[in-house]
A = this chain, B = another copy of it.
């Protein structure tokens, strides 16, 4: 693995090219000496869709940055009902500090590449570097905001509003430069219908029906079940209930 110790736009050195890509990377908080130490213990992986990254009640012994792809965080009830409680895009952080066990499953929703560090390395560094902990706090606060936004969607929106909200959310996360003025966007859906259902608290059939309706109403087009073109972001937004 090549370690690039160049400089983030903020002036903070970064560990690897991918980590500087967007706003939530964690590596950027470390100073050069720490980076060299961390680089020795870090490793890059690529995993296929469907691979479980962190198992429920498994011991967590590593943390990761998502470099590309989408990771779904799920929780399940004892009878198998499942809920996706978060989606991690690059360069989000994966792992729950200060807890030995995870109550959450993490699974690759698409092909995913990761940059992993042993838990001990990160935790030692967190003690030494307040800046790292600061970044982690910021990311955690962002995730909390997102979780609470989604609680409104889960608790108070109709099925069609849920699906519209979901498409809007994906469009913005896949391509941060989605322009409401341009009024159109195009992207690959990172989730299957079953995943979307688990994310929205619906069934596959309801998701499918709502997507069909958006299609026949001319708001979106879908090719190969995955490739989505939004022809009217504003109409999609109207339907999202915001």
Q: A78-B241, A103-B145, A155-B201 known; 12 other A-B pairs, CB under 8 Å?
A: A77-B156, A77-B157, A77-B242, A79-B241, A83-B151, A97-B141, A98-B138, A133-B134, A136-B137, A144-B147, A151-B154, A155-B200
When the two chains form their complex, are residues A155 and B242 in contact, meaning their CB atoms are under 8 A apart?
Answer: no
Copies in the complex: 2
Given A144-B147, A147-B147, CB of A152 within 8 Å of CB of B98: no
Residues of chain A having any CB pair with chain B under 8 Å: 73, 75-79, 81-83, 85-86, 96-99, 103-104, 130, 133-134, 136-138, 140-141, 143-145, 147-152, 154-157, 198, 200-201, 241-242
- Smallest CB gap from A152: residue in B: B83
Given A98-B141, A140-B140, A141-B97, CB of A77 within 8 Å of CB of B241: yes
Given A133-B137, A137-B137, A144-B140, CB of A150 within 8 Å of CB of B152: no
Given A103-B145, A141-B97, CB of A154 within 8 Å of CB of B201: yes
CA distance A79 to B103 in the complex (A): 35
CA distance A156 to B76 in the complex (A): 9
When the two chains form their complex, are residues A152 and B86 in contact, meaning their CB atoms are under 8 A apart?
Answer: no
| A-B pairs with beta carbons under 8 Å apart, 7 shown | A77-B241, A77-B242, A78-B241, A81-B157, A96-B141, A133-B133, A140-B140
- Other-chain residue from B97, B149, B200 in contact with A75 (beta carbon distance below 8 A): B149
What are the 3 A-B residue pairs with the smallest beta carbon separation, nearest first? A155-B201, A85-B148, A154-B154
CB proximity of A71 to chain B, nearest CB, Å: 14
When the two chains form their complex, are residues A151 and B152 in contact, meaning their CB atoms are under 8 A apart?
Answer: no
Chain B residue contacts of A155, Cβ below 8 A:
83, 154, 198, 200-201
- Smallest CB gap from A130: residue in B: B130
